Chain A
């Protein structure tokens, strides 16, 4: 699915380099590492927002540098760290924006588009929020809405930058379980940066560990790896 080849990422100087990594669909990866190590940059680079310093990222064999904007929007969705809400923008209209890559020149949604919105809202248990304004719900609810919008976009790759930051314990657990289920059922490739080591260990999902300027894949997390991550 996603292939990273001799990748070096960063802005002016290299932040992280990766060995040759192969990320498969039907799987969720927890991206862990200390603050400022370059997790967000890694996610932005895969999303095609930030150009890598060297190396290549390919999705299904095609280099993302060759994707046009529409192809990127139909392949990758990104849940950014923070969505602050917009005055008079309803949750349902916010979710509906996820259909933007597929709608006509006037952005009109057809009934199957709305079905997708409702379906996702049901999955994430946010149906009761649909008619509310995005600036009048809690930080945690807004975060769930951001995740929902990326699901509505129906992309094979979903990137999430600390999606659980504002959620309480139960919501963190629920969201992670949902992401795991979705990755399997819908054959998606999900990469999520997080600090919830315990929850990820419970779900026994593979880790992308960013430490000492390198990013490595660990199918299970050993004690040494945890020590490395925190050093």
Chain B
């Protein structure tokens, strides 16, 4: 695909994102005027119910939908390029499981640093990074792409076994908070936390753009890449770090959100038809954000009658798409 048509596609997506955001805002059950939105940010009045609703619920939820959609898609893209495997993703390769295990540990054994923002992010990040390192070590001993996915699956089962043991030992209160967390929700973030989250997210995006050249070279395989002068080991560490940063950040605040990280990077590649990561990074951010904003808007519409966990809905959409990819690529 030509560069100019890719740029057009990006412009279209850029126009579509505000539309999706608008739909998300009006999808809520209670109608709220637009002046309340502006006032809740610029001129907040704690006694005004609709402003409180906007500030504590609507805006953080929309914000997290954008960040989670973009971040999970990016972390999936990193893994797919790094492992040269279109079916890789933070969920399939156990990055989420690593983060979940450590979060479960801290939620249900009541380790105190969980209380602070950084403790929560740190816990998830360490778990995600450790799982990524483990997968990297195993991947180097494997020849087949499918085997790696099976190893990821086994790792997932392994960690969820530990989580089950923790659950059986935990008290009712911590069990409930873990179960709620594991359903995946964009609703658990407070307005005050958005600053920290967007700072970490922005640093991650900046880092992603610095990795454009290494990622573009990596698509032809690690051996050829190293012969072109690419320091493979440090690039691998940086890519894994960014993957864990995005997956860890989002897992910590939103719980596990399945399939976004595997489906969106593939969708982006099919739409953009390029391996140039300069475009793929932007594309994944935009398409991921639009997808999750629309998905969550749909959940909001149904909320009066039925509350669907986010993790369930992304799986319902994502799993068939991944089966479609399997049939397309692996024949």
Contact = CB atoms under 8 A, between A and B. Distances in A.
A49 interface: yes
B168 to A, nearest CB: 45
A47 B227 contact: yes
Contacts of B220: 83, 86, 89, 94, 97
B223 interface: yes
Interface stretch (B71-79, B124-132, B211-219, B309-317): B211-219
A103 interface: yes
A208 to B, nearest CB: 21
Contact of B228 (A49, A87, A93, A97): A97
Interface in A76-122: 76-78, 80, 83, 86-89, 93-94, 97-98, 100-101, 103, 105-107
Contacts of A70: 229
21 contacts: A49-B226, A69-B231, A73-B227, A77-B227, A83-B220, A86-B220, A87-B86, A87-B269, A88-B269, A88-B274, A89-B220, A94-B220, A97-B228, A100-B217, A100-B229, A100-B230, A105-B213, A107-B212, A107-B213, A107-B216, A153-B228
Interface string A52-85: 0000000000000000011011101110100100
Given A88-B273, A88-B275, A89-B275, A107 B217 contact: yes
Given A86-B275, A87-B269, A97 B229 contact: no
A72 B269 contact: no
Given A80-B224, A86-B275, A93-B275, A101 B229 contact: yes
Interface centre among A77, A83, A89, A153 (most CB of B within 10 A): A89
Interface centre among A49, A69, A74, A94 (most CB of B within 10 A): A69
Contacts of B274: 88
A153 B213 CA distance: 16
Given A72-B229, A93-B276, A101-B229, 17 more contacts: A69-B230, A70-B229, A73-B227, A76-B227, A80-B223, A80-B224, A83-B220, A86-B220, A87-B275, A88-B269, A88-B273, A89-B220, A100-B229, A105-B213, A106-B212, A106-B278, A107-B212
Contacts of B269: 87-88
Contacts of B210: 105
A85 B21 CA distance: 39
Nearest to B213: A107
A88 B216 CA distance: 12
Nearest to B1: A88
Contacts of A88: 269, 272-275
A103 B213 contact: yes
Contacts of B212: 106-107
Nearest to B86: A87
Nearest to B277: A107
A73 B228 contact: yes
A74 to B, nearest CB: 7
Nearest to A85: B220
Contacts of A87: 86, 269, 275
Contact of B213 (A73, A76, A86, A100): A100
Nearest to A89: B275
Contact of A100 (B228, B273, B275): B228
A142 to B, nearest CB: 12
B143 to A, nearest CB: 13
Given A88-B273, A88-B274, A97 B227 contact: no
Nearest to B215: A107
Contacts of A86: 219-220, 275
Nearest to B210: A105
Interface centre among A80, A83, A97, A101 (most CB of B within 10 A): A97
A97 B223 CA distance: 14
Contacts of B276: 93
A154 to B, nearest CB: 12
A97 B230 contact: no
A20 B170 CA distance: 71
Contacts of A78: 227
The 4 closest A-B pairs by CB, nearest first: A73-B229, A107-B213, A100-B228, A89-B275
Given A103-B213, A105-B213, A107-B213, A72 B219 contact: no
A83 B220 CA distance: 8
Interface centre among B219, B223, B276 (most CB of A within 10 A): B219
A130 to B, nearest CB: 13
